[in-house]
Structure 1
Amino acid sequence: MPTDPGPGGAETDGRRARGAETRRHLLDATVRVIERDGVTGVTHRAVAAEAGVTKSVASYHYPAVDDLLTAALRDSSDAYARDLSARLPEGYGLADLAAHLTACQEENRSRALAEYELYLQAARRPALRQAAARWTDVLTELTAPFTTDPATVTTLTATLDGLFLQSLLRDEPVDAGRVEEAMRRVIGT
């Protein structure tokens, strides 16, 4: 026997689903605006136009620009973690990790640049710091099979960030072999 969803049950679920879909479009639009115009280009008006909604819709879901940026950064880190987890084989080694980290950056350099720009904004915008820390959490999870030493994880994260940022600054592809070698040196294998 079907259960009665109660007053407005199905209607409420539909609104929630539409709200979640709208937020998804807004976050995707935020990253596209950053890709095109940089973080300084992110306004409710710019994101709304990119998402094909009104400015009031963007402001309703994300009252402040920092709310948009924080959600976009957290979402990007989580998507990156999901993508890497799906790609990495069970029992992966450092070579696998290096290859997949490199592939993720190289497949969409403009998005990687936008995400790093957003990540670096946390130095000036304290509201972004917790979301920026998610990247470190992702790397900690991915490197757990190789080291759990906090100092080594910190050094490894800094090394990877440095390699990827230098690649973007020089407009050169990241070399997976170089990434693997750097990780091995940091971990000591």
Structure 2
Amino acid sequence: MSFSFGLFRFLTYGNIFVVGLFMLLMLMAMLVAPSMTSVVISLMISGVVLYHNILCLQLQRSTMEPSVPLKRNFPPLLIIVSVLSFIYSMFVFSTVIEMARLSSGEFAKMTMGGQMKQEEVTAEMLDTIRKTVLVLFGIHGLAIAANCVLSSVFLNKWKKERQEENDSFLDI
């Protein structure tokens, strides 16, 4: 197993865990406030990313065991879902960039909404929280984007292997 394939497997399992956790948190938010349409939309978008990673698992299994067949519509489906997942990762990156531009005061207004007294939460704590969130979401976006790129690389490799197996001397 090559390093890139091992990275592909690691990113797939990691993304399934993180996106599954996000979806669980969104479902819990829907229980608290069931009329939140943004939560429903976020849940659907996260579902696309989860589905992409499930398709990546199928591709990995078929790559490791060539006897495992994939459906005929698998390559275009993986490409479409991969593009949608890549768009999600670009959205995460743009969110990280916008949050990085916020000042500490704007971040405090955005997160706290005036619910806590200023003495309870210091500016250093908020800055540390903001930096941690930025790093974690940046890693999440990078993991999704890298997984999308690796899935297209291994899909092309899978197509070439299948094409060579199907080519014979008598095929015209």
TM-score (norm 1): 0.29
Structure possessing the higher radius of gyration over alpha carbons: 2
TM-score (norm 2): 0.32
Greater RCO (CA < 8 Å, at least 6 residues apart) = 2
